[in-house]
Chain A
Amino acid sequence: MPSIPSYFSVQFLAILLPVTVTTYAFLPQKPRRIVLLLASYAFFWAVSGKLLVYLLLSTLSIHHFGLWLADNQNRCDQALEQAQKENRKGIKVLYQRQQRGIIAFAVILHIGVLAVLKYSAFFATNLNVGFNLLKLPATVAIPSFVLPIGISFYTMQALSYVLDVYHRKISADRNLFRLALYMSFFPQIMEGPICRYTETAEQLWSVPPIEYRNLTFGLQRILFGILKKMVVADRLNLLISNVFNSYQDYDGFVIAVAAVCYTIQLYMDFSGTMDVALGIGQIFGVSLTENFQRPFFSKTIPEFWKRWHITLGAWFRDYIFYPISLSKPMKYLSSKARKRLGHNFGALPASAIALFYVWLCNGLWHGAGWHFIFFGMYHFALILSGNIAEPFAANIAHKLHISREHPLYHGFQIVRTAALVCIGEMFFRANGLRTGLAMLKKIFTDFTFNTIVEKTFFSFGADLYDYIIVAIVLAVVFFIELCQEKGVSIRERISTKPVAKRFAVYYALIMAIVIFGAYGDNYVPVDPIYASF
């Protein structure tokens, strides 16, 4: 069981969730909102204690900024209505400047809090390294802050709300409690999904009664998520933590296997948590945004990022990529580049600059460390080189008579993409950039299969049975995802079966978790990985 009261802890699954669902179910509509809000704050309090104040302040702040922006927009509209035609441009510019000032204040405030809490130690450390290199007799004290759980997630939600109000995509919400529920809804506060105001605020506020179908579908999804996390992700942790913490003791083959296992662990952990979050949402009649769409069926890296942590990618697309690539200087750059590089490559420089910022932010969002920045830059390089190489690759394939639509070619693309992702995740998990590079070097310079003979994989506290169980559950997950990829909904199928068969499915899931879950005496509790970002 994890050390923090996450969605997989006994206190959450046996107390908070059932109590909230039961109370919600027996109350009329209006008090249900209070139940959800209280449950959300209770959960946050249980995980982060007094740091709840950050979430409260963030909610109050976006409520205030939203109203401020809306007020300014109204005054602008009124002034424009009353103004004569020749004065309108000047009024527009004046109010736009004010709007920009307000939104800049809001963004700087939220990013500032995040930067101080999450990145100040990293910046101070690097500043000291710089002073040292320049032989300057100065040092900066390294600050230490405790991060409120989910700050990276709810800050994104807060920013998307104020930015959408700024862009007049949505109206500012005068109801503080609706905004508070949007910001704090307990299934998503820890690891997302990062939802937009338009996607969830109204749904949450409507608090529909609990329906049998939503309840059963939600519970199925929660159980599936727990299975992924507790049977696969937590079980693989024995191998992964051993190899990543002392990679020097292992050869390239073991390191490569550990990198693959970590990618599987991350997927099972994060997507399992999302299954729990979305399942809980479904019980309350709320459709949270999907965060994963079978990413390991992706044929290219850009496609992978459209299927993996979808809400984060969409956030960066809407609030970083588009604003940069559609800005005036970038449009100018594109038009110039088109004249020099032609139509195919003309848009590349502008999109490359926008992409660079997207991936820099993506890397930094995951954590304060050079290996996270490297992770972002690695994907930036892969996507950019893929874009540049695409016309050449198409040309070569055509000349060699290789059908790019052949299933075998698709298979090759899927394996290639997965391999590239695994390399990136190895840096993501490594204890620093140097360690990541050293591990990569070992894969290419110290690759032997001796460890199979030496049974190294059984020396981490995991035995053959552990790996067999992991393989079986992965096969089940693969089968389900394959069905989903072909448009078949397993849950819909189950719902049409007779009650005995449906019960059998539930019992099988529950007993698989109880018996094969990696918890108790022989396992170290593993906190949900993305909760620490």
Chain B
Amino acid sequence: MKIKRTLRGVAFIAGLMILLAVSSYLLVPRNNTAAAGMEATSANGILGEKENSIDILVLGDSESYFSISPLQLWKEKGYTAYVCGTAGQHLTYSNTMLHRAFQKQKPKIVILETLAIYRKMSLSNVGLAEIARYFPVFQYHNRWKSYDLKGFKNGVKYNWAEDYKGYFYSDQVTPAQNLEYMTPTEESAKIAKTNRYFIQKIKDFCDENGAELILLSTPSTQNWNYKSHNGIAILASELSCEYIDLNLMNDTVGINWSLDTRDSGDHLNYSGANKVTHYLAEYLSGRGILSDHRGDKNYAHWDECLEKLNAKAKGTSN
């Protein structure tokens, strides 16, 4: 009787797994567009990029997609980068994006914008995000409302690519007030245990896949301070990875807080992003691990995208 019941229990769980897998397959977006139900389309545009064409993957929250412009990096050094940053990104989603990106790409560098490391995560959301990685129905369950049978017949094809490679263009200028935001202190901000666990997972994944993890704090007078810097510096030494805090390097980066921020020091604008990206281009060039793809036919569309961004910056395109 006991064996029978145990077998019944196993059969029940197996049946449930199959049901979750089938429903996941049915509800997962057929394409990586908003119309197909994909979330954070700009970040997920990486799924539509040519296989093995991305050198640098950027993860993080809005600081990442306002501060790093992959097309500027392309223009200066011919490196291909993609920003998988999303608004208020939690490390669970950074981890999800990392795994998604590596399905088709083999970037040599993974940059994580550090503000996401301090973003609190509820255990419930962490659990849900982890389950959703195996059974996407937990993430896309609401898609039953807009289910399209036609799309189902065509299967899953992620072929939409984003022109600015995850970068959010903004030419707004609202000067920052708080310019003395990096007052030195011995204190260091604490990183929550759950966040620490996920950052370790991200680091381990990068190591296993031959990518170097770099922690990067982009300039922000509203979101960064010395205490946060100290916390990440300790973390970086524990993880044995590179840490660059551009908030302490303004002599080199040259952010002008009257002109280079779109919202009083919260995020950078186009001009600020170009300065950060220029620094990054020089830094990566100095490392000598990436190659210049300019002139390579396989990367021709990067020039087209750059032209579009230039046109946008000149105000000749929407």
Q: Decide whether A and B assemble into one complex.
A: yes
By a beta-carbon cutoff of 8 Å, the part of chain A in contact with chain B is 1-3, 5, 9-11, 14-15, 212, 463, 465, 499, 503, 506-507, 510-511, 514-517, 519-522, 525
Closest to A11 in B: B123
Which of B5, B20, B27 makes the CB contact (< 8 A) with A212?
Answer: B5
In the bound complex, do residue B141 and residue A515 qualify as a contact, i.e. CB atoms below 8 Å apart?
yes
Across the interface, which residues of A come within 8 angstroms of B126, CB to CB?
10
Known contacts: A463-B145, A465-B145, A520-B138. The answer to whether A1 contacts B15 by CB under 8 A is no
- Kindly list chain B residues whose C-beta atoms are within 8 Å of the C-beta of A521: 39, 139, 142
Q: With an 8 A cutoff between CB atoms, is B125 at the interface?
A: yes
Evaluate contact between B125 and A1: CB separation under 8 angstroms.
Answer: yes
In the complex with contacts A212-B5, A503-B12, A507-B15, A514-B127 CB distance below 8 A? no
| Whole-angstrom CA separation of A321 from B12 in the bound complex | 50
Q: Can you give 23 contacting A-B residue pairs, CB < 8 Å? A: A1-B122, A1-B128, A5-B123, A9-B123, A10-B126, A10-B127, A212-B5, A506-B12, A510-B16, A511-B19, A514-B23, A514-B137, A515-B23, A515-B137, A515-B141, A515-B144, A517-B141, A519-B141, A520-B128, A521-B139, A521-B142, A525-B122, A525-B124
- Which chain B residues numbered 154 to 200 have a C-beta less than 8 Å away from chain A? none
B35 is an interface residue with CB less than 8 A from chain A? no
Closest to A504 in B: B15
**Do A5 and B139 touch (CB < 8 A)?**
no
Complexed CA–CA distance, A11 and B12 (Å): 22
- Residues of A contacting B144 with CB < 8 Å? 465, 515-516
Which of B23, B124, B141 interacts with A1 by CB under 8 Å? Answer: B124
Q: Contacts A1-B124, A516-B141, A520-B138 known; list 20 others, CB within 8 Å.
A: A1-B125, A5-B124, A9-B124, A9-B127, A10-B123, A10-B126, A10-B128, A11-B127, A14-B131, A212-B5, A465-B145, A499-B8, A506-B12, A507-B19, A511-B23, A515-B137, A517-B141, A519-B128, A520-B139, A522-B142
Q: Check B19 against A3 for contact (C-beta < 8 Å).
A: no
- Which residues in window 101-127 of B have CB below 8 A to A? 122-127
Which B residues touch A522, using CB under 8 A?
142
- Assuming the contacts A1-B122, A465-B145, A520-B142, asked whether A14 and B19 have C-beta atoms less than 8 A apart, the reply is no
10 nearest A-B pairs in the assembled complex, by CB-CB distance? A10-B127, A1-B124, A9-B124, A465-B145, A11-B123, A10-B124, A515-B141, A10-B128, A515-B144, A522-B142
In the assembled complex, the Cα of A1 lies from the Cα of B294 at a distance in Å of 47
* Chain A residues, CB < 8 A from B39: 521
The proximity string for B residues 26-53 relative to A, scoring 1 for CB distances below 8 Å and 0 otherwise, is 0100000000000100000000000000
User: Taking the nearest CB of chain B, how far is it from the CB of A21, in angstroms?
Assistant: 12
Nearest-Cβ distance from residue B90 to partner chain A, whole angstroms: 12
Residues of A within 8 A of B15 (CB): 503, 507
Complex Cα gap A506–B16 (Å) = 9
CB distance from B259 to the nearest CB of A (A): 35
Q: B143: nearest residue on chain A (CB-CB)?
A: A515
Q: What CA separation (Å) do A212 and B12 show in the bound complex?
A: 14
CA distance A508 to B128 in the complex (A): 20
- Whole-angstrom distance between the alpha carbons of A3 and B145 in the complex? 26
Distance between Cα atoms of A465 and B141 in the complex (Å)? 13
Bound form: Cα–Cα A520–B124 in Å? 11
Least CB distance, B67 to chain A, in whole angstroms: 25
Contacts of A465 in B (CB 8 A): 144-145
Rounded to whole angstroms, the CA-CA distance of A506 and B11 in the bound complex is 13
The distance in angstroms between the C-alpha atoms of A370 and B131, with both chains bound, is 44
Alpha-carbon distance between A514 and B139 when the two chains are bound, in angstroms? 10
**B25 shortest CB reach to chain A, Å:** 13
Q: Decide yes or no: A11 and B124 within 8 Å by CB, A503-B15, A520-B142 being known contacts.
A: yes
Tell me the smallest distance from the CB of A402 to a CB of chain B, in Å.
47
Contacts of A5 in B (CB 8 A): 123-124
Most-contacted residue by chain B among A15, A510, A514, A519 (CB, 10 A): A514
Q: Which one of A10, A503, A516 has the greatest number of beta carbons of chain B within 10 Å?
A: A10
Q: How far is the CB of B2 from chain A (nearest CB, A)?
A: 9
Specify which chain B residues have a CB less than 8 angstroms from the CB of A511 in the assembled complex: 19, 23
Least Cβ–Cβ distance between B19 and chain A, in angstroms: 6
CB-CB under 8 A from B127, the residues of chain A are 9-11, 14-15
When chains A and B are docked, how far (Å) is the Cα of A9 from the Cα of B127?
9
- B139: chain A residues at CB < 8 Å are 520-521
User: Bound state CA distance, A519 and B23, in angstroms?
Assistant: 17
How distant is A523 from chain B, measured CB to nearest CB, in Å? 9
How many angstroms from the CA of A516 to the CA of B145 in the assembled complex? 10
Report chain B residues within 8 Å CB of A520. Answer: 128, 138-139, 141-142
Alpha-carbon gap, A212 to B15, bound state (A): 19
Residues in A whose Cβ lies below 8 Å from that of B19: 507, 510-511
**Which chain B residue lies CB-closest to A513?**
B141
Query: A507–B123 contact, CB under 8 A?
Result: no
A514–B23 Cα distance when bound, in Å, is 10
A17 to chain B, nearest CB (A): 13
A2/B141 in contact, CB under 8 A: no
| A10 contact set on B, CB distance < 8 A | 123-128, 131
| Nearest CB of chain A from residue B270's CB, rounded to whole Å | 29
Asked if A514 and B20 make an inter-chain contact with CB atoms under 8 angstroms apart, the answer reads yes
Contact A507 B124 (CB under 8 A): no
Q: Flag if A507 contacts B128 (CB, 8 Å).
A: no
Determine the chain A residues whose CB is within 8 A of the CB of B5 once the complex forms: 212
List chain B residues, Cβ under 8 A from A519: 128, 141
Bound Cα distance from A503 to B14, whole angstroms: 12
Of all chain A residues, which has the CB nearest B124? A1
Bound-complex Cα distance A1 to B231 (A):
30
